[in-house]
Amino acid sequence: MRSGMASLLALPWAKSLSAAAAPATAPHLNLSRGARGLPQDDEIVLGVSAAFSGPSRGLGTELYRGAMAYFNQVNENGGVNGRRIVMKLLDDGYQPDPCVANTIELIQDESVFLLFNYVGTPTVTRALPVLKKFRDQQVYLFFPFTGAEPQREPPYGEFAFNLRASYRQETAGLVDNFVALGRRRVAVFYQNDAYGRSGWAGVREALARHGETIAGEATYMRGTQFGASMRGQVEILQARAPDAVICIGAYQACAAFARDAEDLGLHIPVANVSFVGSENLLALMREGRADADSHTRFLVNSQVVPSYEDTSLPAVREYHELMERYNPPLPSSEDVDRIAEGEPYEPFAQSFVSLEGFVNAKLITEIIRRMGDDPQRSGIEDAVFAVRNYDLGVGERVRFGPDRRQGLQQVYYTVPEGDRFVPLDDWEARFGLP
Amino acid sequence: MTRSRRHGREALLVRKLFRKTRFGFFALFAAVVLSISILSITSVSRELRDEYIINSESIAKNIADSSVDILLNRNLATLQSLIDQFVQIQSIRYIYITSDTGEFLAHTFIPGIPEEILASDHTATEPVDRSLPGLGDFIEVGSPILSGVAGTVHVGMDLELLGLKTQRAVGQQIYLLCIILVTGVLASIWLVNLASRPLAALLEFVVRLARERDEDRVAHDDLLVRDDEIGDMARLMQHVADGRAREGGVRTGKGR
């Protein structure tokens, strides 16, 4: 699908993008007329602040598209208890301050029913105190696209509900597998912010359980592009002679690091966590390279949703069907002309990120459905806690409770095969020591 | 020699008397500007540096106070988020937090922690000057977290920025002093000229008195009517000249 950023908001964060889930014939309904206030008679508004512009725009875009595929179908079938589900989108460019401003706007000005599908740790970490400030309004953040701890622990854990596994679980899984292969010297390449630190802490904790410490570490600045050189970072890690590197970053920088690591002879497994945006990373690394397969042979990515290739799972089949049926276009805005140039983005037919957006939408729809004909914010928490053994169709049942604010626990591991990431079945065969 | 050329030559002779005065003025002003500049550079530099240290100490203490619960909750992402906000302050170039065992729990270094920092005393809190290859020169201060049992916060302030601030502050002062110097020199030249002009006229008057014959004598009303010392001297000279002329006349009469 070829589509430009023409339909994607990339204006300053304060500028809102109104888009909504709506019937397929008009998928981008501008909500400026009716999105305000608590549930209207005919719609429920979910507030979204995410990266729709900048180097991480692929994440916000794919997450949105996956959610849209599901909401389109829900709305086409009459909505939830007669109400359509719509999203009020604001762009934060994956930057903390705009995310804070957006969150305040969504709560105060837009009075959204709940917050949904936020993208990123540095953004969410800063938005959480806003939720605490407005705690009397009982605004909850649902299913942020981050596995960091701040929204899972006191003092802000009570304001958020997570669906995906945490970075702690992802990094622990990666470390355990590397250590099992004898690769005990694990280094970390990370984005030097709350997200990177969260993953770094996960690696450190997991290594400590094996009696090891981080073998070496290198950092990069948030927003670094694929064109940047990572020679300095690669050389820092090379000097520590690691057996494997775990990257905690976004796709542009992590692709640049993996490229330079390969080019500079650091031939060891390079792992990424789910936030990286696997398809975006792979597309960057393969672009224009005749040796793309060998160039990406050391990559291994952890995921928090099953492979979108695994059509034995009902949710994955549904995802394929709805993504194909609606093929959700990029978010649009009235100011489309102002953002069209310089930021082209070509979405993926399927991706782990859009699948995550899809299952997030599926579960939030179920929670709203359980709230009955007159959903109120005061009833949100009880409705979530009532989800105790729900089959989302991903092979793992979802369970929430007062002491369990994360629905899924499973972590999956994937490796590149051509232009896709496929499940990794045999660690020893792929990454065993010679 | 024409009358005007003689006048110019005499005025020049008088101004020579003030050349040293003008030089003296200039030297004095220059000495004042130079000494004030040196004093200014040292005092501004010292004051800004002290202010820098005080600011960084208060920032380090602020972070240390804010970090206690975060550290005890092992919430390193929030800790990183906290220092990321502080490092946006212009003069702060880096922050790092070490545990009580010296482990780096959060930092702002890219692409990695410099070797000099890794090798430094992680419990030190006294201000220390650091020169980090590729990064620049810094003043680093520390602040203990929970009296040091939870770790230490270290804040690095940019010395290059401090130098620029010092240069700017001193530059402004020197600029002002230079304006005063130039104005003072120009004013002194004007004043000297003002004072030398009647003296030159007086000199010319005296020379003429000595040279001119009675019938050539011209009136010098502008000098003789002055009520200052120049006027007094002119009248005195005129009186002496008149006396000598009278004596000359009597002597001539007697001779006849």
DSSP symbols for A81-134: TTBEEEEEEEE-TT-HHHHHHHHHIIIIIS--SEEE--B-HHHHHHHHHHHHHT
Instruction: Give yes or no: residues B157 and B44 share one domain.
Output: yes
Instruction: Give yes or no: residues B240 and B202 share one domain.
Output: yes
Instruction: Give yes or no: residues B208 and B134 share one domain.
Output: no
Instruction: Give yes or no: residues B154 and B183 share one domain.
Output: no
Instruction: Give yes or no: residues B74 and B128 share one domain.
Output: yes
Tokens, residue A294: 């060998």
The closest of A50, A46, A7 to A277, measured between CA atoms, is: A50
Check pLDDT > 90 for residue B48: no
Average pLDDT in the B246-252 region? 69
pLDDT given for residue A336 in this prediction: 29
Inform me whether the C-beta atom of residue B63 falls under 8 Å from chain A C-beta atoms: no
Q: Sketch the domain layout of chain A as residue ranges.
A: 5-165+307-398, 167-303+412-431
Does some domain include residue B171?
A: no
Alpha carbon of B37 to those of A9, B158, B159: distances in Å? 55, 24, 21
ipTM of predicted complex? 0.81
Whether A5-165+307-398 and A167-303+412-431 share one fold: the answer is yes
Select from 3.60.140.10, 3.40.50.2300, 3.40.50.2000, 1.10.3720.10 the CATH code of A167-303+412-431. 3.40.50.2300
Name the closest residue on chain B to residue A213, using Cα atoms.
Answer: B103
Name the closest residue on chain A to residue B87, using Cα atoms.
Answer: A193
Flag if A194 and B74 touch (Cβ within 8 Å).
no
Confidence label for B219 from pLDDT (cuts 50, 70 and 90): low
A140 versus B186: the higher-pLDDT residue is A140
The closest of A164, A153, A98 to A408, measured between CA atoms, is: A164
Alpha carbon of A205 to those of A173, A211, B143, B211: distances in Å? 12, 10, 26, 111
Q: Poorest-confidence range of A49-58, A124-133, B186-195, B205-214?
A: B205-214
Instruction: Give yes or no: residues B129 and B182 share one domain.
Output: no
Instruction: Give yes or no: residues B160 and B182 share one domain.
Output: no
pLDDT given for residue B141 in this prediction: 94
A5-165+307-398, CATH topology level: Rossmann fold (3.40.50)
Inform me whether the C-beta atom of residue A236 falls under 8 Å from chain B C-beta atoms: yes
pLDDT given for residue A33 in this prediction: 32
Instruction: Give yes or no: residues B197 and B160 share one domain.
Output: no
Domain span at residue B160?
Answer: 39-166
Does some domain include residue B155?
A: yes
Residue A154: which of B73, B77, B81 has the nearest Cβ?
B73
- Report the distance separating Cα B13 and Cα B24, nearest Å: 18
Nearest Cα of chain B lies from the Cα of A346 at a distance, in angstroms, of 31
Edge-first strand listing for the sheet containing B92-98: B104-107, B92-98, B151-158, B136-145, B128-132
Inform me whether the C-beta atom of residue B135 falls under 8 Å from chain A C-beta atoms: no
Domain closes at, from B110, B138, B166: B166
Q: What are A56-114's pLDDT values in tens digits?
A: 889 999 999 999 999 999 999 999 999 999 999 999 999 999 999 999 999 999 999 99
pLDDT given for residue A7 in this prediction: 34
Domain closes at, from B140, B166, B192: B166
Does some domain include residue B28?
A: no
Instruction: Give yes or no: residues B156 and B195 share one domain.
Output: no
Does some domain include residue B144?
A: yes
Domain closes at, from B135, B166, B197: B166
Instruction: Give yes or no: residues B96 and B136 share one domain.
Output: yes
Mean per-residue pLDDT over chain B, rounded? 83
Does some domain include residue B90?
A: yes
Name the closest residue on chain A to residue B115, using Cα atoms.
Answer: A236
Inform me whether the C-beta atom of residue B115 falls under 8 Å from chain A C-beta atoms: no
Does some domain include residue B32?
A: no
Rounded to 5°, angle at Cα B144 from B157 and A191: 60
Instruction: Give yes or no: residues B66 and B158 share one domain.
Output: yes
Instruction: Give yes or no: residues B161 and B186 share one domain.
Output: no
Q: What are A304-336's pLDDT values in tens digits?
A: 999 999 999 999 999 999 999 999 998 876 432
How does pLDDT run along chain A (434 residues), one tens digit per residue? 433 333 333 333 333 444 433 333 333 333 333 344 456 678 999 999 999 988 888 999 999 999 999 999 999 999 999 999 999 999 999 999 999 999 999 999 999 999 999 999 999 999 999 999 999 999 999 999 999 999 998 889 999 999 999 999 999 999 999 999 999 999 999 999 999 999 999 999 999 999 999 999 999 999 999 999 999 999 999 999 999 999 999 999 999 999 999 999 999 999 999 999 999 999 999 998 888 888 899 999 999 999 999 999 999 999 999 999 999 998 876 432 333 344 678 899 999 999 999 999 999 999 999 999 999 999 999 999 999 999 999 999 999 999 999 999 999 999 999 999 999 999 999 999 98
Dihedral angle of Cα B11, B14, B20, B25, to the nearest 10 degrees: -70
- Cα–chain center distance at B68: 47
Do residues B185 and B26 make contact, with C-beta atoms less than 8 angstroms apart?
yes
Q: Contacts of residue A198 in chain B, CB cutoff 8 Å? A: 76-77, 80
Helix (H) or strand (E) holding A62: helix A57-76
Helix (H) or strand (E) holding A286: helix A278-286
Flag if A232 and B75 touch (Cβ within 8 Å).
no
pLDDT given for residue B254 in this prediction: 47
Provide the number of structural domains found in chain B. 2
